[in-house]
Chain A
Amino acid sequence: DVKVTQSSRYLVKRTGEKVFLECVQDMDHENMFWYRQDPGLGLRLIYFSYDVKMKEKGDIPEGYSVSREKKERFSLILESASTNQTSMYLCASTWGQGWNEQFFGPGTRLTVL
């Protein structure tokens, strides 16, 4: 079974803190994605990576950065957390180019106070 794990299910941080969200997949997938999910807005793509040390901006990259030092791990970084970054964060992975099924982690519910 493909497994995508995320470091925390729930996280509470203060405004201005630096926040790291970690995602690990065990299926040797080339592509990894970070989304945020908000009511009425659905899933929106923040960043994605199609290879180690490669990254591309998604639709809403402002206020976020990412790191992919190893194939299995993709980190999302909030340099200075703000209240409007309170959201559910979902990581996903898939293989190859073109369309293939994306496998999602369970999500991290981040609250910024």
Chain B
Amino acid sequence: QKEVEQDPGPLSVPEGAIVSLNCTYSNSAFQYFMWYRQYSRKGPELLMYTYSSGNKEDGRFTAQVDKSSKYISLFIRDSQPSDSATYLCAMSALGETSGSRLTFGEGTQLTVNP
């Protein structure tokens, strides 16, 4: 079983829709939770990160972590064609002397249609 599971999609929505992207995980040691966005033919870029449980909002994006259910979500409000990309969840456990080792989900490909 993979440590991090993510629905690969693809997901296609009309412009203005609310998008929900989700990941589940099995490793209780994960404490940092990230969402990376990857445009076609580019490397991933950090979109949002949260520490432990709770919500974090940044403009049209909200990241949600529920550690009791081992479930994280990314919500995109008023989605735009420029949001079309692959979204990758990633997680990290503290205590790694080598620092920042991440475990990624498979990525969800999102298309927002004008």
Contacts and interface: CB of A to CB of B under 8 A. Distances in A.
B17 interface: no
Contact of A43 (B31, B88, B96): B88
B6 A42 contact: yes
A78 to B, nearest CB: 20
Interface string A63-99: 0000000000000000000000000001010101111
B114 interface: no
Q: What bracket does the count of chain A residues touching chain B fall in?
A: 20 to 34
Contacts of A45: 101-103
B contact residues, range: 20 to 34
B107 A42 contact: yes
Interface stretch (B38-46, B54-62, B72-80): B38-46
Nearest to A99: B32
A33 to B, nearest CB: 8
B92 interface: yes
Given A50-B99, A97-B99, A99-B94, A106 B41 contact: yes
Contact of A102 (B4, B46, B94, B107): B46
Contacts of A97: 96-99
Interface of B: 4, 6, 8, 31-32, 41-46, 49, 88, 90, 92, 94, 96-107
A42 B106 contact: yes
A42 B98 contact: no
Interface centre among B32, B94, B98, B105 (most CB of A within 10 A): B98
Nearest to B43: A104
Contacts of A39: 8
